[in-house]
Amino acid sequence: MLIIPAIDLLNSNVVRLEKGDMDKFKIYSKDPLSVAKSFEDMGVERLHIVDLDGAKKGSLENFDIIEKIVKNTSLSVDVGGGIRDISRAQRYFDLGVKYVTIGTIAVKDPETTKDILEKYPNSIILGIDARDGFVATDGWYENSNKRAKDLVDDYIGFKVASIIYTDISRDGMLTGINVDATVELSEKSPFPVIASGGLKSEKDIFELEKRSVYGCIVGKAFYEGLIDLKYVMKQIGK
């Protein structure tokens, strides 16, 4: 199973939100590049970056910071937040980003999403952020009437790299991954599913691995010192 640490960027800082609320956040570092390098020093190979400002505004707000991380580390980076057309995806791929995560347009603009998937096969991640079973958009500020599995079904037949599934109600709360919902989606999805939101302990990770989930995003639990990332990677083998 892939273990993928996360850097969430807000006002140029590394933060974690509570339930996706951008008014409720904790700053963990004002130097995102040093955080990325620390992950690299631990032997991490992949990094998940979220431009929270971009997700809210629908633009690439932290592009320069992400550029520094890509250019100054060997990490395989996936980026999400504010990517709402092909040109923005192209900017990140030109930069050297490995994967681009799209969420809002997957719900609101399926035709553009399909164009992006066709242009970048196996390089696009669908970010599915669910609140009360329905997918949220626009930096989690808006709720749609689309369920997670229905959104997955919309893109069957396209070469989606993977899905990042986040239970918003648990994100940043250290209440534990919603394992059952993640596994249910994983079993029904033709694409690999990466769990996100609420991870609180190494036990969560081992449970996900036991149930054959493809990957797991590690955020607040690491920053709060609740998970030994080196130990987990050694046990998982990734």
- Catalytically active residues are 8, 129
Contact predicate 33/65, CB 8 Å: yes
In the numeric block, the tokens 């994983």 are attached to 186
What is the rounded distance in angstroms from the CA atom of residue 14 to the CA atom of residue 199? 18
Q: How far apart are CA 174 and CA 135, in angstroms?
A: 21
Q: Look at residues 162, 198, 216, 204 and name the one whose alpha carbon lies nearest to residue 20.
A: 198
Joined together, the tokens standing for residue 198 give 């609420």
Start-to-end C-alpha separation, the chain: 6
